[in-house]
Amino acid sequence: MDLEKHVEKILWTEQQIFQRVSELASEITQDFTPQTNAPAIVGVATGAFLFLADLVRKIQLPISVDFIRADSYRSGTVSDGNPRIPFDLKVDVEGKHVILVEDIVDTGSTLSCLIDHIKSKGASSISVCTLLDKPARRKVHFELVGKGKYYCGFECPDYFVVGYGMDFAELYRNLPYIGVLKPEMYS
């Protein structure tokens, strides 16, 4: 079956994503080059796996890379607003600069929970690098830690999007672009 037939429209092509990820990696490289300790890059599983893989290969610093998981979507397209952390860091982040890498910030509850969690481990700063941000849907305010910065790839309109790591009911993460599914695919 042709996967493209499931997609109503493409919002960002592979080429646009490639270009923007390169820009974000350059910004991070520049911002953290003066620091004595290179940052720990923490991908939020599963949605950030492709973004993380592409981003870290373009960062020109001796970074560490780890994953953390926060589950709030039981199924479908609506968050239950109460993330849990079933999979924690392996890297010790005490006294380190952490950059949390997210696929998309929606209500903000996942990031707020993860920032509190990593702060409690003694990180000296916490930055966020998200590929997409849906500001129209923000419900939970989160604060960066120390001199943490906020990096964002694209502002996302209020659609439920899939591809480049993002899923609907655990499917479509493997699309190389970001798009919106045909309405019948969500039912």
Long-range contacts of 1-10 (CB under 8 A, 24+ apart): 3/172, 3/175, 6/172, 6/181, 6/182, 6/185, 7/163, 7/175, 7/179, 7/180, 7/181, 7/182, 8/179, 8/180, 8/181, 8/182, 8/183, 9/179, 9/180, 10/177, 10/178, 10/179
Q: Which residue carries 């037939």 as its tokens?
A: 5
Q: Of the candidates 39, 102, 114, 133, which one interacts with ligand IMP according to CB under 6 A?
A: 102
**Site string (128-157) toward ligand IMP, x via CB under 6 A:** ------------------------------
Interface with ligand IMP includes 163 (CB under 6 A)?
no
- CB 146 to ligand IMP: min, Å: 22
For residues 64 and 79, which CB has a smaller minimum distance to ligand IMP in the complex? 79
Interface with ligand IMP includes 16 (CB under 6 A)?
no
For residues 58 and 173, which CB has a smaller minimum distance to ligand IMP in the complex? 173
Interface with ligand IMP includes 172 (CB under 6 A)?
no
Q: Which of 88, 106, 116, 158 is catalytic?
A: 106
Angle formed at CA 172 by CA 169 and CA 176, multiple of 5 degrees:
155
Contact footprint for ligand IMP (CB under 6 A)? 44, 47, 72-73, 79, 102-110, 160-161, 166
